[in-house]
Structure formats: structure tokens, C-alpha cells
Amino acid sequence: MNRARTELREQIARLSLQLKQLGEEGGEEDGEEESLLWCADCSRAQKGPRPPLEVVAKRCDALSWDDYFMSVAFLSSMRSKDPSTQVGACIVSPDKRIVGIGYNGFPRGCSDDELPWAREALSELDTKYPYVCHAEMNAILNKNSADVKGCAIYVGLFPCNECAKMIIQSGIAEVVYLSDKYKNSNSMRASRKMLTMSRVLLRQHIPIRNSVTVDFSAMSPTPSTV
């Protein structure tokens, strides 16, 4: 085996020398740099132009961090059974790790078919409001870390006063919201007052993209042509 390797090295050296001499005698054509190329199939040396190095640049249309985390919140909202309002929340640590997600819905063990989804009724007990857990609450309770202190929460709607209490008590440092369409309601006024007093940073997200598409077919295997 060692003898065969030695002979192969000697053959390569002789071929390299011969090709170098040919290049010196004939000169380079069209200014192309000649190099010793090896055929992977037959293991024979060939003379040819050195292949150009391809410069591959990074993608420039990747999602921004804010768009990414808000998209995760919106994707979570698609799990909600609420026929009128679907809201999702995504909690993110200071080092950009998702540590909790949630969406609005009824508590565990409470049937989505037996409890009411109505927004208005003769009795408040026949509406969804006494029973539903908001996205922020579920995201905090579903956390996969020891705590969420110092984290940011991304949510589609500005948090209500009850969710604001949980956000403050859990130590979340920033609320990133998309819509504040109920800002004039007493619930939202109380929420903003408490969050401001607790020095929780409030920031409305201005998306770079108006929509983000999830295309499962992009990863589908290409049909075999055989």
C-alpha cells in the first residue's frame, strides 16, 4: 500500500512538472490562469483554466427581529377558537430567545363547545368575558424558563388592565404591541397608567412587511422524475 502511494505521488509530481513546462513553452492563452485539475471519476490529471471563485452574499430580505417575534404571536393567535377576536403573545428574553407563547382561549378542562363565545348577552355569564384567558396570561403561564424578568412581550393588541397586572408582577420590562384600537376604554386607560407607573417600556410595532406568508410547499420534496 505504501509503495503504491509513493508511486502515485511520483506520477503526480512528473505530471505537474510536464504541465508547467508546457505552460512555459506555449504561454497562457487569453490570459486565463492554468492549473492542474483532477477528475474525480477517473483520478487523472487534466490541464485547464482555474475555476473562478463564486462570491455568495447573504440574503437581504430576512425578517427583522421585531417582525419575526410579532409574526410568532400572530401565528399563535391562529390556534384561538374565539370567533370574534384572535390574539397571540410571544415572550422574548434579552438575548432574543422565545421563552413563552400563548393565545386567548378558555382554561384547560373547560370545553370550547359548552362555554359561551358571545360578546353580548342578557347575562354576563352568557358571554365569554368571565371565562376567557387572554394571550398575555397564557404566554406568561406557559413560560419555559425560570422567570420572564427583563423580557419583552410581543402582542397583537395592547394589554388590558388584568393582563397589565400580570405583566408587571412577572417582571416583563417591555410591551411591544401592534394595535391600540381600544385605547379610549377604561380598561386600557388603567392598563397604560399601571404599566407607565411601573416603568414598563411601551412600544408600538411598525412592521417592515405588511404580511408574512407561511408556505409549507417550499419544503416539500421534489417529485421524482424516475
The 3 state secondary structure assigned to 138-196 is HHHHCCCCCCCCCCEEEEEECCCHHHHHHHHHHCCCEEEEEECCCCCCHHHHHHHHHHH
136 is a catalytic site residue: yes
Q: Give the CB-side neighbour count of residue 218, counting CA atoms within 13 A.
A: 4
Separation between Cα atoms, residue 37 and residue 45, nearest integer Å: 6
Asked if 139 contacts 105 with a C-beta cutoff of 8 angstroms, the reply is: no
Asked if 130 contacts 144 with a C-beta cutoff of 8 angstroms, the reply is: no
- Helix (H) or strand (E) run with residue 18 in it: helix 2-26
- Measured between alpha carbons, how far apart are the two ends of the chain, in Å? 40
Annotated catalytic residue: which of 29, 124, 136, 162?
A: 136
Separation between Cα atoms, residue 11 and residue 13, nearest integer Å: 5
- Helix (H) or strand (E) run with residue 66 in it: helix 65-77
Angstrom distances, CA of residue 46 to CA of 15, 27, 34, 52: 9, 17, 10, 17
Residues classed as catalytic: 136
